[in-house]
Amino acid sequence: EAGVAQSPRYKIIEKRQSVAFWCNPISGHATLYWYQQILGQGPKLLIQFQNNGVVDDSQLPKDRFSAERLKGVDSTLKIQPAKLEDSAVYLCASSYAAGTSYNEQFFGPGTRLTVL
Amino acid sequence: DAKTTQPPSMDCAEGRAANLPCNHSTISGNEYVYWYRQIHSQGPQYIIHGLKNNETNEMASLIITEDRKSSTLILPHATLRDTAVYYCIGGAGSYQLTFGKGTKLSVIP
């Protein structure tokens, strides 16, 4: 079974530029998550989708971050404009469905963003 | 979600059992205990979860105290490939995972 795919794996940009990350979840997984992981910390949830609807985006800095999941499959996360503090690894994860008795999330390899 | 407390780091000799503790004294009755690990430069990987009973799978065993205020993840025969950051997470059954800083386990040859 193919895992969660993310691209690009690495990205270097200058502050105030924009950047986009792409995620393809495991086939059949209804729930998709985007996390931000700053060096030395655990991942922090940014946004959760159930199919193509947003379940929770309370920790997404909406003045600069946006995310969409058209057709309930692939997802993109965008930052515009980027700040130095956005330097982090951006992880995408998927799970079969919310509402099941457990919540095993499958993570992609992440995109390492460096903002100069 | 329940707040969890883990030691920042631990060492374990290769081939020995690694016992990783976690305190989750504020866990509520319907919250599971999840364990994930993150090997360097990879995304987190699910290990095991439990509610009240002890659990075992091909990767590890999870021992939960009767009062559910703490748990221990046991890797029975640690290998160098088990070197990773281990996260203990308390959360309601099907939704979000709130990661802390975890325990950095170093398996020593």
**In the sheet where A65-68 sits, what is the strand order?**
A5-7, A19-24, A75-79, A65-68
Assign A96 a pLDDT band (cuts: 50, 70, 90): confident
Are B100 and A4 an interchain contact pair (Cβ–Cβ within 8 Å)? no
The pair of three-digit structure tokens given for residue A57, joined into one six-digit string? 């985006």
What are A13-68's pLDDT values in tens digits?
Answer: 999 999 999 999 999 999 999 999 999 999 999 999 998 899 999 999 999 999 99
Taking every pair of C-alpha atoms in chain A, what is the biggest distance, in angstroms? 43
Residue A25: the pLDDT is 96
Selected residue of A103, A104, A111 to mutate for chain B interface (largest B Cβ count, 10 A): A103
Q: Are A69 and A83 in contact (CB under 8 A)?
A: no
Nearest CA in chain A to B95: A98
pLDDT at A7 over 70: yes
As averages over each run of 10 residues, the pLDDT of chain B (109 residues) reads 87 97 87 92 93 93 94 97 95 71 96
